[in-house]
């Protein structure tokens, strides 16, 4: 039997996050966006609500809810602003779930538990000035020296660069093996030789923190190698399966926000003697947003369902991420169109939605990369090989909220 119902716990979760966003983000976001200010208190408040580890098992400090509950949190947060959903995407999707999947018991106790409780913040450093889509082009290196690895290099476009306490960082331990020579490390901000710097002048997600990481002979204990040497590429790709899921869910939230603003304006604004919502071409934009919302949501929850079962979902997650982000970008464009000239000023939130909707079409696999992935799956050129470690299936016994 297929079941499209939310559980009472999921309904309660949605209502909690919605109230939080309405009270603690909506009244301030316009100013934060204008100032380019990331409010760290939002992460603290999310921790108080037990949401910084919403789908992390209770034994590791989380709320033990299912993976679609993570999607609900992301939808509702991005309804407020993409910056806070992005923060949750990197903290939970790219970092904490990667520790859950690949970490040793010691690494989980040391890093995952405080992250799930929201006492520490996690981020993810893959992209470099010369390497985005082409991950194997990274040039950061990690050279073994006794009980340490010495990291040198630079990352860029890293979300929470100045905020996070722990980073999962990818570096070559053996360049000659190409992507089989990349390894993953847990790096702490306090390790000597580490520094970060925010990027200014972003198109969108201005209320978020994004920037560069620098590694100048950073000595990382060998215990902080995540997975085996040479397993970094696989770890990065499996992390993206979870990050992309949260990005797709967030895009659903952005479409909700576009619809909310557009429907309200359609009833307020009159032209030619009637509400603009009565004009068929405006209705077409509203109908497209609704279709995008429903299609994207189904794709997201299907990916979440597979995660709950502990099944591989790279293909389904990529499709959800590609389609939802494209629909959100189009919905935001149409929301500005519906608002006419008023949509072009920050008197209304839709110009922020349009600016915010662009980065998700670029990060965690560009539109083009996901298009190629989907074609390759269909054509039989791409097959997912089994992983040494899978993301654990959801255990319904472990709910705590």
157: contact with ligand FAD by CB under 6 A: yes
Q: Which is nearer to ligand FAD, 46 or 158 (CB)?
A: 158
Q: Which of 128, 229, 316, 364 is catalytic?
A: 364
Among residues 243, 280, 266, 274, the alpha carbon closest in space to that of 391 is found at 243
Sequence-distant (6+) residues with CB within 8 A of 308 are: 66, 67, 68, 393, 394
8 Å CB contact between 166 and 188: yes
Please pick, from the candidates 61, 132, 304, 349, the single residue that binds ligand FAD as defined by CB under 6 A: 132
Beta pairing partners, 141? 152, 172
Least Å distance between CB 198 and ligand FAD?
A: 11
- What are the Cα distances from residue 241, in Å, to 89, 205, 336? 11, 22, 31
| Residue selected from 368, 376, 388, 400 as contacting ligand FAD according to rule CB under 6 A | 368
Residue 326 vs 364, nearer CB to ligand FAD: 364
97 binds ligand FAD (CB under 6 A): no
Q: Pull the structure tokens for residue 399.
A: 């709910």
Among 359, 361, 373, 391, binds ligand FAD (CB under 6 A): 359
CB of 124 to ligand FAD, least distance (A): 5
Alpha helices, DSSP H, located in 310-349: 314-338
Find out whether 154 and 127 touch, Cβ atoms under 8 Å: no
Residue 215 binds to ligand FAD (criterion: CB under 6 A): no
Q: Is 210 in the site for ligand FAD (CB under 6 A)?
A: yes
- Nearest residue to ligand FAD on Cβ basis: 132
Q: Which of 71, 97, 193, 92 is nearest to 140 (CA)?
A: 193
Q: Which 267-326 residues touch ligand FAD, going by CB under 6 A?
A: none
The reply to whether 356 sits near ligand FAD by the rule CB under 6 A is no
**Is position 316 annotated as part of the catalytic site?**
no
**Sign, CA torsion 366/320/371/261:** negative
Q: Are 289 and 263 in contact (CB under 8 A)?
A: no
Is 205 an interacting residue with respect to ligand FAD (CB under 6 A)?
A: yes
Query: What is the set of active-site residues?
Result: 364
* Residues found near ligand FAD in the complex (CB under 6 A): 90, 124-127, 132-134, 157-159, 205, 210, 359, 362-364, 366, 368-369, 372
């Amino acid at each position: 039997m297929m079941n499209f119902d939310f559980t009472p716990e999921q309904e309660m979760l949605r209502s909690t996050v919605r109230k939080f966003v309405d009270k603690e983000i909506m009244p301030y976001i316009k100013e934060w966006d204008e100032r380019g200010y990331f409010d760290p208190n939002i992460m603290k408040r999310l921790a108080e609500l037990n949401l910084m580890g919403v789908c992390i098992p209770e034994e590791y400090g989380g709320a033990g809810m299912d993976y679609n509950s993570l999607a609900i949190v992301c939808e509702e947060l991005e309804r407020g602003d993409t910056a806070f959903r992005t923060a949750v995407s990197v903290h939970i999707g790219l970092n904490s779930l990667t520790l859950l999947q690949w970490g040793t018991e010691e690494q989980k106790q040391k890093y995952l538990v405080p992250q799930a409780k929201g006492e520490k913040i996690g981020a993810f450093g893959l992209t470099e000035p010369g390497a985005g889509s082409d991950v194997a082009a990274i040039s950061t290196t990690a050279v073994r020296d006794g009980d340490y690895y010495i990291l040198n290099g630079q990352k860029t476009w890293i979300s929470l660069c100045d905020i996070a306490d722990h980073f999962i960082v990818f570096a070559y331990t053996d360049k000659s093996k190409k992507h089989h020579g990349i390894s993953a490390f847990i790096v702490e901000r306090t390790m000597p030789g580490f520094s970060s710097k925010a990027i200014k002048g972003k198109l969108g997600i201005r209320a978020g923190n994004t920037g560069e990481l620098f590694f100048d002979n950073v000595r990382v204990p060998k215990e902080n190698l995540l997975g085996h040497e040479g397993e970094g590429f696989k770890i990065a790709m499996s992390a993206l399966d979870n990050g992309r899921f949260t990005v797709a869910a967030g895009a659903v939230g952005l479409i909700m926000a576009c619809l909310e603003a557009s429907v309200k304006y359609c009833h307020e604004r009159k032209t030619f003697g009637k509400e603009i919502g009565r004009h068929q071409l405006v209705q077409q934009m509203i109908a497209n947003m609704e279709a995008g919302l429903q299609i994207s949501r189904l794709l997201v929850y299907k990916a979440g369902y597979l995660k709950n079962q502990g099944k591989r979902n790279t293909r389904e997650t990529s499709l959800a991420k590609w389609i939802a982000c494209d629909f959100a970008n189009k919905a935001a464009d149409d929301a500005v169109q519906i608002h006419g000239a008023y949509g072009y000023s920050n008197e209304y939130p839709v110009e922020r939605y349009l600016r915010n909707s662009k980065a998700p079409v670029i990060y965690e696999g560009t539109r083009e990369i996901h298009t190629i992935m989907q074609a390759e799956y269909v054509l039989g050129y791409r097959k997912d090989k089994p992983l040494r470690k899978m993301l654990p299936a959801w255990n319904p016994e472990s709910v705590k909220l």
